[in-house]
Amino acid sequence: MSMLKNRQIWTWFERKWQEGNVPIMGSADHGTWLGTMVFDGARWFDGVAPDLDKHCARLNHSAAALGLKPPMATAEIIALAEEGCKKFTGKVPLYIRPMAWSTEGGAMTVDADPESTRFALCIEEAGMAPPDATTTLTTTRFTRPTLATATVDAKAACLYPNNARMLKEAQSKGFANVISCDVAGNVAETATSNIFMVKSGEYFTPIPNGCFLNGITRQRLITLLREHGEKVWETVLTLDDFRAADEIFLSGNYSKVTGATQFEDKIYPHGDKTKLARKLYWDWAGA
């Protein structure tokens, strides 16, 4: 699941491909010291890049949400990503990360000047989790912000320190990840992905309420499960609902579907419904 050591990296910046971890930001860039950077992430593996178009489109949506100028047409970003993937051997899975940020402030300095928006596309080797990969979960004292308090309608880099402190808290308690809640105390997601639970043979997942991204992989799984005849409910869920669940799994671009085998002191199976969700995704992707 982690980035590979000595991994190959290609970066498209300043209108050309450059090999390696290329410096892209200056010390005085607005995005450097005021955090106006957005990004997205897609995956390439086994000859396919599932929902690449949706990830590239979301990069432009995120840019607009932060007051940046969408850096280029979605179709151009897709074409660049496909071109960049061909620079690799095809033997190792890839992580495709388009990024945009501002170099200058606007009229009040703190705001971004949309005309100063810069763009880079980084593609790097990154292993995929094995089919039987699982994780463990706990609670966290930190919550997801609301749209009134943070830029939660964008995949913005400035949001991730909050997620990072959730993970640090989980690790200090002997767990790998957390189930995070919104300000009302209802389940939102984990620190790194969307979340599902299974109860009495049916799937449940928190309904998007504006405090977390309605993930692309999440949406894809809901569609695939329903097309397969499964019942999937998007609804308000509590921590106690997850404590009473039969199965729990995570969904996200980086690892796609990951089973959870423990939440606090309760042990869960890496169950058939979780395995079905993963199988349906892989079958759809054609990998």
Domains parsed from the chain with CATH numbers = 9-125 (3.30.470.10), 134-285 (3.20.10.10)
* pLDDT value, residue 107: 86
Amino acid at 251: S
Mean pLDDT of all residues belonging to the chain: 96
Helix (H), strand (E) at residue 195? strand 194-199
Per-residue pLDDT tens for 85-140? 999 999 999 999 999 999 999 988 999 999 999 999 999 999 999 999 999 999 99
255-283 average pLDDT score: 97
**Number of C-beta neighbours around residue 159 at 10 A:** 18
Residues 278, 287: Cα–Cα separation, whole Å:
12
Geometric angle at alpha carbon 252, from 181 and 102, rounded to 5°: 85
pTM: 0.94
Q: Is the dihedral of CA 112, 118, 124, 127 positive or negative?
A: positive
pLDDT given for residue 3 in this prediction: 64
Please give the backbone phi and psi of residue 285, each rounded to the nearest 5 degrees, phi first.
-65, -25
Specify the pLDDT at position 151.
95
Q: Is the pLDDT of residue 238 over 50?
A: yes
Would the pLDDT of 287 be above 90? no
Ranking 103-107, 191-195, 247-251, 271-275 by mean pLDDT, the lowest is: 103-107
Q: What is the pLDDT of residue 82?
A: 98
- Two tokens, residue 47: 């000859």
End-to-end CA distance of the chain: 18
